[in-house]
Amino acid sequence: MGNKTIRQVKSNDIQGEKELFLQIVTDMLEYAGVLRPAPNWDLDRGGQDGGEYFQEVVLDGGVAQVNTEYQFNEHHYEEHFSSLSRMMDPWVGCTGMGTVTPENVRPYIDYLYGIDHLGLMNEYFDIDGNMKEGRLPLMVTDLGSIMDANLITSLLDGEQELLIVEVGGGYGRLAEVFINIFGPERIKYVLVDAVPASLMYSELYMKDRFPDMNVGSYYRGDDFDLEKYSCYVIPAWHFERLNKYQFDACINIQSMQEMSQNHVDYYLNLFDKVVKNEGLIYLSNEKDYVFRGTWDFPQHWQKVFQDRTPRSWTRHSPTEMFLKKSGENFDRENQLIEFMYQKQLHGYDVLAKLKEKVIQSEAVMGMLESIKLQVQDVNSSVEGVNASVEGVSALVEGVNASVLLKWKKH
Ligand SMILES: C[S@@+](CC[C@H](N)C(=O)[O-])C[C@H]1O[C@@H](n2cnc3c(N)ncnc32)[C@H](O)[C@@H]1O
């Protein structure tokens, strides 16, 4: 293994290319068919306000938008798609965009040290989770990349050339990390997407991060030839027709969770077709977010890993790894792994209940404290009243005494 650096170039914003964007949109409208993204990722919405969409459509049972004819709108383009930074929230969320601090690294640190056969953690962090001097700053989403890279390569032969295809790779977060760690000679990374802004920025981002490497794109007229390009960007609707490769690993992270059933069915089937026998399928998705349908895994995919991870932000949020073994049936084995995962969810529920109880008892303690303060207030007013009563009594006694004196004088 080569490098232990996951980022070599300081993050800077990248401007979109409007002509390229329009070229991709036109191609999508003509050829995407059923692979056109679901409304939450389609042109109008463009992946923005995912949380709002989730609340309105999934939780409140609102009517899902339908994809409309697209009218290019300069203002909308400026606001949503005109620079890489405008897409960061849809891709990695506001938590993921945050800069790493000792506080937000805490939930990750034990987990990452536990799986870090690549030795990345020691390069970046001291034992307390402080970033080491001289390292380019990381975002929280990069901690997810350290996790993904470690998990994926724990099941792949690290000495061979690796052909990887990722569907829904965003701006190229993980592609950057793989190429940095293993080098462009060893890694051939194909980014397949259906969202015009992702197709545009992943190419621009990878070119920006690796100025000396050949990055190819369907939209530049580049051949889909991994001898020529270490990284290649291609839309989902042209991939199958042009692909001649069998891949060591197929990846989908936080992406199918925002698709429709027909997309998920299509991509799982695609992965099965293009992954090598004994190759790896790596999926990391929240299963109780926007997509709540069926995950129809082939019986010959052996599930070797299923775990809630520090990146999980909903309850049912597994990272799963499968090995394809043609001709076999893993129903029984996979049931066991699923059982272990359900036990993990049960533990998560127990912990959530405990946390709720702690919060409730903290609230009760707070109430008791405020009652105590009120009682103290009442006591001190009673004391005040007593003192005034005593004062009045003294006054009355004084008056009585003077009355007595006056009477005695008479
Ligand atoms: C939340 S982002 C995650 C990006 C990246 N995997 C990461 O974790 O940083 C979702 C990704 O899925 C892609 N996507 C959404 N709908 C898609 C679809 N129907 N087909 C292919 N990709 C899709 C988006 O363009 C984006 O790249």
* Dist. CA 162–CA 155, nearest whole Å: 12
pLDDT, tens digit (0-9, with 9 covering 90-100), for 177-195 = 999 999 999 999 999 999 9
Whether the CB-CB separation of 87 and 13 falls below 8 Å is answered with no
258 lines ligand 1 (CB under 6 A): yes
Q: Which residues pair with 193 in a beta bridge?
A: 235
169 lines ligand 1 (CB under 6 A): yes
81 lines ligand 1 (CB under 6 A): no
Task: Supply φ then ψ for residue 157, to 5 degrees.
Answer: -75, 110
Ligand 1 centroid – CA 120 distance (Å): 26
With b meaning 16 or more CB within 10 Å and e meaning fewer, what string describes 232-265? bbbbbbbbeeebebebbbbbbbbbbbbbbeebbe
- Ligand 1 atom closest to the Cα of residue 198 is 25
Residue whose CA lies nearest to ligand 1 atom number 13: 168
Sheet holding 318-324, edge to edge: 215-217, 231-235, 187-193, 162-167, 247-253, 275-284, 318-324, 301-308
The per-residue pLDDT for 149 is 98
pLDDT bracket for residue 410 (50, 70, 90)? low
Query: Given a cut of 90, is residue 390 above it in pLDDT?
Result: no
Dmax (CA) of the chain:
129
41 lines ligand 1 (CB under 6 A): yes
Average pLDDT value for residue range 27-56: 91
91 lines ligand 1 (CB under 6 A): yes
Ligand 1 centroid – CA 172 distance (Å): 10
Tell me which DSSP letter residue 316 carries.
S
pLDDT, tens digit (0-9, with 9 covering 90-100), for 232-280 = 999 999 999 999 999 999 999 999 999 999 999 999 999 999 999 999 9
The per-residue pLDDT for 386 is 79
Average pLDDT value for residue range 356-380: 88
* Dist. CA 271–CA 258, nearest whole Å: 18
- Listed residue (253, 243, 268) closest to 318, CA to CA: 253
253 lines ligand 1 (CB under 6 A): yes
196 lines ligand 1 (CB under 6 A): no
